[in-house]
């Protein structure tokens, strides 16, 4: 956790946007360590071990001390704390009676208003199953560039989605809950959640999401709407190719060997599929290499136009998004998305156009 928070808090920021590390004492004596990591508030709670009447006050501390004390709280190493106002220092007394001393600068205290509209739980295992997929990691990084969905997962109570406009992944969960409104989970938040306990308790209030597990709490604004993907899901079409892949790993190896940034999948004749690697040069397709797929099961109906173009990396990541080795890909022509579907997951990738 300490290594992760250090990594996040040392990311490149402007001078006026550097994270502030605070120790806050509430009016009930509860002590909170708080920082903001790229618009995500992270809090670590030290419950009721304040031995001095320091209430409703806030203190600014340096990053190294903040990270060290946060780690000790998470591992339950601190017995109690003492504030020494004359020396402008805080003594953290450990369970083994050793003392960790930090200096502070007192800052304006802003009491936190606590209200909850509704609550629910999310499970770390669900998040791990999603984030281990290479395609999801790729989409969350890509969306950071185009800012359309702020490199985030979206959760509506029954499924998680991630999209970068050209691709979409849907992961359905078993622990279905009804949410009054969907939430988004950004990459920074997700990386912290994966370090926490299995059950993560969530509160929603005034468009703010607060997630707590153990002594760690994360809070951020929920400003982005749940993506409406219904319009891009293809309905039943008479122009489809169902390609049943018996050995996904070998299939991916063959595609990776193709030279070029894009691929064209074409069906020159029944039960015969060919994949070309190519690049655009002077508005012409320059074929680099090709593979023939004749051992796999191909269902091609008479109305298929026989040719679909994809970004090669996107197509490979679509295949790698699934644990299953045997998959069925549905191709839907030149302009409609390609799909892979299993019981819990749907991955969609849009074809490329010239």
* CATH code assigned at 250: 3.10.150.10
Residue 291 lies in a domain: yes
**What pLDDT is attached to residue 275?**
75
Confidence label for 224 from pLDDT (cuts 50, 70 and 90): low
CA dist 79 and 234 (Å) reads 59
Confidence label for 292 from pLDDT (cuts 50, 70 and 90): low
Neighbours of 223 (CB within 10 A): 10
Residue 236 lies in a domain: no
**What pLDDT is attached to residue 193?**
87
Higher pLDDT, 354 or 209: 209
Higher pLDDT, 166 or 66: 66
Higher pLDDT, 302 or 334: 334
Same domain, 210 and 274: no
Q: What is the mean pLDDT of residues 232-240?
A: 61
**What pLDDT is attached to residue 291?**
59
Sign, CA dihedral 30-36-39-40, equals negative
CA dist 11 and 19 (Å) reads 10
Structure tokens at 153: 């997962």
Residue 226 lies in a domain: no
Which one of 107, 140, 160 terminates a domain?
107
Q: pLDDT tens digits, residue range 5-57?
A: 665 555 544 434 555 788 888 877 788 889 887 678 888 888 656 555 667 88
Range of the domain at 80: 2-107
**What pLDDT is attached to residue 200?**
92
Same domain, 103 and 125: no
Same domain, 247 and 291: yes
Residue 266 lies in a domain: yes
Q: pLDDT tens digits, residue range 66-89?
A: 888 888 888 888 888 888 888 889
Which one of 80, 107, 134 terminates a domain?
107
Neighbours of 341 (CB within 10 A): 15
Count the domains in the chain. 3
Most confident among 204-208, 209-213, 242-246, 309-313 (mean pLDDT): 209-213
Residue 264 pLDDT > 50: yes
Which one of 73, 88, 107 terminates a domain?
107
DSSP, residue by residue, 163-218? E-SSEEEEEE-SS----SS-EEEEHHHHHHHTTS-SEEEEEEETTEEEEEETTEEE
């Amino acid at each position: 956790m300490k290594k992760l928070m250090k990594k996040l808090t040392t990311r490149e920021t402007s001078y006026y946007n550097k994270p502030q590390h605070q120790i806050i004492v509430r009016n009930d004596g509860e002590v909170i360590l708080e920082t903001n990591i790229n618009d995500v508030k992270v809090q670590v709670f030290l419950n009721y071990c304040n031995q001095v009447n320091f209430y409703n006050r806030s203190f600014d501390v340096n990053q190294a001390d903040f990270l060290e004390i946060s780690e000790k709280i998470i591992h339950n190493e601190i017995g109690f704390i003492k504030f020494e106002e004359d020396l402008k220092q805080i003594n953290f007394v450990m369970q083994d009676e050793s003392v960790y001393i930090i200096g502070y600068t007192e800052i304006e205290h802003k009491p936190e208003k606590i209200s909850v509209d509704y609550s629910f739980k999310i499970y770390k295992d669900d998040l791990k199953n999603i984030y281990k997929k290479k395609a999801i990691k790729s989409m969350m990084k890509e969306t950071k560039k185009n800012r359309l969905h702020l490199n985030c997962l979206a959760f509506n109570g029954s499924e998680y989605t991630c999209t970068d406009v050209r691709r979409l992944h849907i992961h359905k969960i078993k622990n279905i809950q009804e949410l009054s409104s969907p939430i988004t989970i950004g990459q920074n938040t997700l990386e912290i959640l994966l370090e926490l306990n299995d059950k993560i308790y969530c509160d929603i209030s005034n468009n703010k999401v607060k997630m707590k597990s153990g002594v760690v709490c994360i809070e951020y604004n929920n400003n982005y709407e749940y993506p409406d993907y219904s319009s891009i899901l293809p309905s039943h079409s008479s122009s489809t190719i169902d390609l049943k892949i018996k050995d996904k790993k070998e299939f991916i190896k063959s595609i990776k060997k193709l030279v070029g940034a894009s691929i064209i999948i074409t069906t020159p004749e029944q039960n015969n599929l060919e994949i070309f690697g190519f690049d655009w040069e002077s508005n012409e397709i320059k074929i680099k290499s090709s593979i023939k797929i004749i051992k796999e099961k191909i269902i091609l109906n008479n109305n298929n136009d026989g040719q679909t173009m994809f970004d090669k990396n996107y197509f490979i990541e679509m295949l790698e998004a699934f644990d299953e080795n045997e998959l069925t890909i549905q191709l839907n022509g030149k302009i409609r998305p390609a799909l892979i579907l299993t019981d819990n997951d749907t991955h969609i990738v849009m074809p490329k156009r010239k």
